[in-house]
Structure 1
Amino acid sequence: MDQRRLILFLVFAFSIVMLWEGWVKHNQPAPAPTAASAGAASPAADASVPTPSATLAAPQAGVPGEQAAAAVASAARVAVETDLLRAEVSAQGGDIVRLELKQHKQKEDHSKPFLLFDDGSAHVYTAQTGLIGEGLPTHKTLFALPGGELKLKDGEDAVVLRLEAPEQNGIRVAKVMTFKRGSYLVDVAYDIRNASGKAIEPHAYFQLTRDGQPAETPEGFGGVQTFIGPAFYTDGAKFQKVKFSEIGEGKAKFAKTAPDGWVALVQHYFVSAWLPAQGVQREFFARALGSDMYSAGVILPVAQIADDASGKVETRLYAGPQEQDKLHDIAPGLDLVVDYGWLTVIAAPLFWVLAWLHKLTGNWGWAIILVTVLLKLVFFPLSAASYKSMAKMRVLGPRLQRMKELHGNDKVKMQQEMMNLYRTEKINPLGGCLPILVQIPVFIALYWVLLGSVEMRQAPWLGWITDLSAKDPYFILPIIMGVSMLIQMKLNPTPPDPIQAKVMMAMPIVFTFMFLWFPSGLVLYWVVNNILSIAQQWQITRMIESGNAGGKAA
């Protein structure tokens, strides 16, 4: 029985070590950006214009030479500000080259807003669009910008930015971007006026261009490596993630055409996505641009525009946090960008319960404490039976020690006598291990919830805990956790094998060390769980021992 219990303890310890190892890898300093990606946004400017395949039957005209002359770094910009974001739009292509999320702060400096789209200050990340067809503007075309900054005023629901492209071959194009109050969605449209003397049938492309660098510089130890890269969704193929390395090697697999779906670029806590309307045939693409730069996007057809007529193509851009209660309502499957790994089946409902408790308490820390209590109640019968077995084992300690003295040299005889004793006393040899086995998947699932939920990012609990997704700055909770684990070990029956006993006593020290850098929300869960377990185990042990003492007296 003691050997089996030791094995289960080691399985749990191995799970912790694996998480800790991944934690270390995630928080190693990011490799220095290459010269191409460390500059402004010139790599993005060099991106070639995508061309649709024969599936969409589009002309594949090249880009006019003068349109590629200007670099993004030197192009003029206009700023657009709403209650949630501040965007900088470049004259070159009308690209969104910088986007600040005002409700979310940077990890290193909480006085500054989080930067999603970046023009090269830390990495390169832009939202680009253009038209495909002779004489039509691309993301390299210089647009005319309005003068001054556009800011959402009190009483207004939206602010509109209109950019005019140079007229070519009698075709006039305006790019119109609508930023809305209380929303991370941006409506992007092209108004096309055709006076070329012939009908045109253009296509529009909407792409996200990014380097492969992490969005934030981790502090100390952070968390398991989360996914960074493109993701595609269609009703037929469902959610498909593509690694940057797969794009570079030409091994990326995803749905290429569909009448529905979207394309996104996913990073820790945040996402940007092009969300075309349902029912329009589209083509998805992903390609490497060299120098650690990648693009992923979608191509949409534009209905034929006759001479002396107008046409329009439009879609939506989401650029913001992965707020799970809102993503599903924005587009089908968009909530899948919140990736909990292989334990999603446990983590997703666990987050739902946490979110519901957060609405009641207004604090994620208290929500974690309450969900720990609920989990303890759910598994109360199982843990009670386990603690009864452990308490009986504790009572039988002197008899087991006597067996060891009598049959210490005969392992087979010793094992037979122990099994007979367990059978007589109705003790489950694995009973003491069941609470640990139950906690392992819940523990890992909660870890992924804390790691992947933007709602937990920089969420305070009380006092010194100002970010439940980060480590305890003063290591108070890990130390309390270690002490509580030591108390639990003292309540357990002492293994007859001295080596096993030493291993068990070393567990609290090893776990405390590893928990020093785990998210404080996860350590809080473990502390509360240990305290509840100690109370339950102490009460059951006291009842068993007092009952045994009464039986002997009688």
Structure 2
Amino acid sequence: MDIKRTILWAIFFVSAVMLFDNWQRDHGRPSMFFPNPTQTHTQTSTGTSATPASESAATPSAAAPVPGAAANQPQAAAQLVHFSTDVYDGEIDTRGGTLDKLVLTKNADPKGAPLNVTLFDRTATHTYLARTGLIGGDFPNHNDVFTPVAGPTALANDQKTLQLSFESPVKGGVKVVKTYTFTRGSYVIGVDTKVENVGTAPVKPSLYMELVRDSQPVETPRFSHTFIGPAVYTNEHHFQKVTFSDIDKNKQDVATSANSGWIAMVQHYFATAWIPQQGAQRNIYVEKIDPTLYRVGVQQPLSTIAPGQSTDVSARLFAGPEEERALEGIAPGLELVKDYGYVTIIAKPLFWLLEKIHGVVGNWGWAIVLLTVLIKAVFFPLSAASYKSMARMKEMTPRMQALRERFKSDPQKMNAALMELYKTEKVNPFGGCLPIVIQIPVFISLYWVLLSSVEMRGAPWILWIHDLSQQDPFFILPVLMAVSMFLQTRLNPTPPDPVQAKMMMFMPIAFSFMFFFFPAGLVLYYVVNNVLSIAQQYYITRMMGAGKKKAA
């Protein structure tokens, strides 16, 4: 049996299946492998949450009861308080003092149009919120209408920080003052919660901080599906992410208590995270609160507050792009929201190197080109061995074909004759494959680096490429990709099987179709890699030919 042919057929079959499955998911159809999280409506819980459910729910779930009857009493009408800074434009809902809308307004390309991104939002079709409140009694929570404290709502040019405060009504003898602090140039929002006991009896509430959103997909390149969903990090258990489908099945497996770390919602290029004070004990919960909403949060027990006393709880809320170096400086492990998956150990050094090259050339497109050249140079000895082996196999193709014709009725003798030919000519039939297999993890890692790096968003290269995170507007790079793949196929030995030969000719067309929708940065990397591979293969083949003439 021709093992090499079997391997090629297996690769082609898996590629075709994954291509079809990605096409299905891209067009909103059910996946063959990943269940649609909106298909199930089972209420699930980690068993730690007693946090109020969404105010939009007609009846709170048993797993998340609204504390006290006062929540159903008539309250003042809620309003939206608009604010703006140099990096944000948003709204805070006085119902709960909830961060209801947050738009990232910082321009990634000074020469281009603003690349605004809406993170938090509440519309008829989409919900994504950051909210807090108290539990453990009939205390103020995110269902109560707060009163905004008078003050500026826009960051002036001569200001470094902007503070917006909201006061809750008194409930259960407790009053809450929530203060948001925005800092110029920062995607970290300080959130201070002052809990005052204005009653006559001691109280011991717990503060919850949570992120709530639906499973609505975010914009990602076609045929590429990045992770979206909750994530939890603790010093003991490190980074744990949970898919919405796992929550539907009540299979979320995360740490439930800690005194360190953070909780987050992750999506392509951007993330949000509550970062409580380190050392403060907290319970962690991940659950579904209605057929369309999920939440991840922490509950932080507070010390007993005597009448007339108060306590302050400080936390930070990150809401911004997944810029790896900036995330490292905010909290331990926060850079992991930029998720490379199983290839992290290779991808992180590759991004570090790409970043260093960008620091020299000042252009992410040229940085991709130079990194690809550097990687090809490092792997040149392996590539040379592979191309030499393929060249030898190409020379032997007529003799191999003759043996197949001679013993076509006896596969056992045919394989024995082929093995004897390999032994006589000192050729390893897998010599052209193994060096390539060794390089595959590096190329896959670089794929994830380019797909996951928000630095590519809005980054231009040359001429018609104004955004490396978007597809080539004129499809020039994908066409070059198709041509380069075709040339590579022509340089390789022609398979003896006519069907296999046609398949090898068809594969560049099939893969090029996907590359028409890939981000320009990814296609640029593959084009440069292919061109360098063709140059290497041509050079090595020519050198081998010159060596044979000299020997003759």
Listed as ranges, the matches of 1:376-391 within 5 Å are: 376-391=376-391
The alignment status of 1:540 with 2:537, answered yes or no, reads no
Tell me the CA shift for residue 213 of structure 1: 1.3
Aligned counterparts of 2:74 and 2:96: Cα–Cα separation in 1? 10
Tell me the CA shift for residue 436 of structure 1: 3.5
Tell me the CA shift for residue 435 of structure 1: 4.4
Cα 1:302–1:427, aligned 2, differ >3 Å: closer, same or farther?
A: same
2:68: which partner in 1?
62
Cα 1:97–1:538, aligned 2, differ >3 Å: closer, same or farther?
A: same
Matched position secondary structure for 1:283: strand
Listed as ranges, the matches of 1:107-506 within 5 Å are: 111=114, 113-120=116-123, 122-134=125-137, 136-146=139-149, 150-168=153-171, 171-216=174-219, 222-400=222-400, 412-506=412-506
Aligned counterparts of 1:80 and 1:409: Cα–Cα separation in 2? 80
Aligned residue identity for 2:255: A
Larger mean CA deviation between 405-414 and 153-162 belongs to 405-414
Which residue, out of 81, 91, 95, partners 2:94? 91
Aligned residue identity for 2:97: G
Unaligned ranges ≥5, structure 2: 30-35, 42-52
Aligned counterparts of 1:324 and 1:299: Cα–Cα separation in 2? 28
Cα 1:524–1:8, aligned 2, differ >3 Å: closer, same or farther?
A: farther
Aligned residue identity for 1:372: T
Tell me the CA shift for residue 88 of structure 1: 0.7
Cα 1:487–1:228, aligned 2, differ >3 Å: closer, same or farther?
A: closer
Aligned counterparts of 1:402 and 1:195: Cα–Cα separation in 2? 96
Aligned residue identity for 1:462: I
Cα 1:52–1:302, aligned 2, differ >3 Å: closer, same or farther?
A: farther
Matched position secondary structure for 1:205: strand
For the 8 Å contact 2:456–2:467, the answer to whether it is kept is: yes
Aligned counterparts of 1:414 and 1:519: Cα–Cα separation in 2? 46
The alignment status of 1:101 with 2:104, answered yes or no, reads yes
For residues 12-40 of structure 1, give each alpha carbon's deviation from its aligned partner in whole angstroms, at most 9, with x where no partner exists: 44564465345424422499999x9xxxx
Cα 1:148–1:22, aligned 2, differ >3 Å: closer, same or farther?
A: farther
Cα 1:338–1:249, aligned 2, differ >3 Å: closer, same or farther?
A: same
For the 8 Å contact 2:149–2:167, the answer to whether it is kept is: no
2:33: which partner in 1?
none
Unaligned ranges ≥5, structure 1: 37-42, 54-58
Aligned residue identity for 1:158: T
Matched position secondary structure for 2:367: helix
Aligned counterparts of 2:210 and 2:343: Cα–Cα separation in 1? 31
Aligned counterparts of 2:379 and 2:154: Cα–Cα separation in 1? 54
For the 8 Å contact 1:78–1:149, the answer to whether it is kept is: no
Tell me the CA shift for residue 166 of structure 1: 2.6
For the 8 Å contact 2:60–2:66, the answer to whether it is kept is: no
Tell me the CA shift for residue 268 of structure 1: 1.8
For residues 350-389 of structure 1, give each alpha carbon's deviation from its aligned partner in whole angstroms, at most 9, with x where no partner exists: 2222222222222222122112112111211111112112
Identity of aligned residues (%): 47
Aligned residue identity for 2:449: V
For residues 148-168 of structure 1, give each alpha carbon's deviation from its aligned partner in whole angstroms, at most 9, with x where no partner exists: 761112232211111122345
Aligned counterparts of 2:508 and 2:172: Cα–Cα separation in 1? 76
Matched position secondary structure for 2:105: strand
For the 8 Å contact 2:386–2:436, the answer to whether it is kept is: no
For the 8 Å contact 1:272–1:320, the answer to whether it is kept is: yes
Matched position secondary structure for 2:106: strand
Aligned counterparts of 1:23 and 1:471: Cα–Cα separation in 2? 17
2:82: which partner in 1?
79
Aligned counterparts of 1:482 and 1:100: Cα–Cα separation in 2? 39
Aligned counterparts of 2:243 and 2:402: Cα–Cα separation in 1? 61
Larger mean CA deviation between 74-83 and 243-252 belongs to 243-252
Cα 1:494–1:247, aligned 2, differ >3 Å: closer, same or farther?
A: closer
Tell me the CA shift for residue 173 of structure 1: 2.8
Larger mean CA deviation between 386-395 and 93-102 belongs to 386-395
